[in-house]
Homo-oligomer: A and B are copies of this chain.
Amino acid sequence: MTTRTKPSIPDLYRDARAGNRLAVGRLLTRVERGGADADTVSELAHADAGSAHIVGITGAPGAGKSTLVGELVSHLVAAGRRPAVLAVDPSSPLTGGAILGDRIRMEGSQDAVSAPSVTADGDAESVRHKPFIRSMATRGHSGGLALAVPLAVRLFDALGFDPVIIETVGVGQVEVDVVGAADTAVVVATPGMGDAVQANKAGLLEVADVFVVNKADRPGATDVRRDLELMLDLSKVTGQEAEIGYRPPIVMASALEGTGATDVLDAVADHLSFLESSGRRVDRRRHRVRTEIEARLAQALQRRVSNLLASSTGQALLKQVEAGDESPTSVTRRLLDELLSTAPSTPQP
């Protein structure tokens, strides 16, 4: 009786699989909220997922990622693909939220891409090639981000979207983890930000499969390219290269001149071919599974820690530290023992 106003998650999932965009959006909302509903979505999607090419795109704020992603989406749709974009808001109180603003502009251009305008509950055929773009805001929930992103990706994958593009502003470890867990990690650099790129080459090189020098029409673009080439030459990646037969390409792109988008897509496709021919795609998937389970465990443990600290035992110990009677080190040791000697919350027969 109530299914009319509040459909069950299996119903939503079935509708989403049939092409209902409103159902997709509702499932994504459940995923963002986390908890038992998100787990149900995860179980359903797990059975159908596993084939999409997962592409992570990151870069400093202002690197022009959103414009680039918009172009990639246009080209993918024109080529008969059905991409999904998950734009991850890095939950920063100072620079976060910018993605959301960009996204609104991009959602506008999205309509130009997919000619047939459809209603949310519209005809499945007409939406077959319509891309799905979703911003995920996770302010104050870095743990929530680490859980919601892989689940949203799995959902898109299970619903037949391919590639699934994760766009993030790579300024935190969580975001780098997210992009590093993609099949293909694209790192976007721009002229004028060379110092930062240089200073952080080690972190960059470890996650990048494809570099893009964006805004290549600007002065200094060839310098950025040369710096990146040098970084690749000098890094430990070079040693691996000879062994694995892959060196991250550097693609020049300019939204102003309308160049680079197809080159980026070619480089991304080449990297997928390399992953498959070398058997390395399995490694990426394994890494992804491991990362997700670690995040889930961390969240579950965090909840137990919070409960313990709120308990009378925890409060008493915190007070002893405040009073200077105990040190944080010794109290941590006691709390840890307390935590690990607890019986499992869901005893198994």
Residues of A within 8 A of B (CB): 39, 42-43, 46-47, 50, 58-60, 90-98, 100-101, 139-140, 142, 150, 170-174, 176, 187, 195-197, 199-200, 202-204, 206-207, 282, 285-286, 289-290, 292-294, 296-298, 300-302, 304-306, 309, 318, 321-322, 324, 327-329, 331-333, 335-337, 339-346, 348
Contact = CB atoms under 8 A, between A and B. Distances in A.
A293 B142 contact: no
Copies in the complex: 2
Interface centre among A91, A93, A318 (most CB of B within 10 A): A93
Given A93-B170, A94-B171, A336-B344, 20 more contacts: A43-B329, A46-B327, A91-B173, A92-B171, A95-B171, A96-B199, A97-B196, A101-B199, A139-B200, A139-B203, A140-B173, A140-B203, A173-B174, A286-B322, A290-B309, A293-B318, A298-B305, A333-B346, A337-B344, A340-B343
B94 A196 contact: yes
Contacts of A92: 170-172, 176, 200, 203
Contacts of A42: 327-329
A322 B289 contact: yes
Contact of A172 (B171, B197, B322): B171
6 contacts: A142-B172, A172-B172, A282-B322, A294-B305, A297-B339, A340-B345
Contacts of A322: 282, 285-286, 289
Contacts of A142: 172-174
Contact of A305 (B286, B301, B304): B301
B328 A293 contact: yes
Nearest to A97: B199
Contact of A94 (B58, B282, B296, B336): B58
Contacts of A309: 290, 293-294
Contacts of A196: 94-95, 97-98
A301 B308 CA distance: 14
Contacts of A337: 344, 346, 348
A79 to B, nearest CB: 29
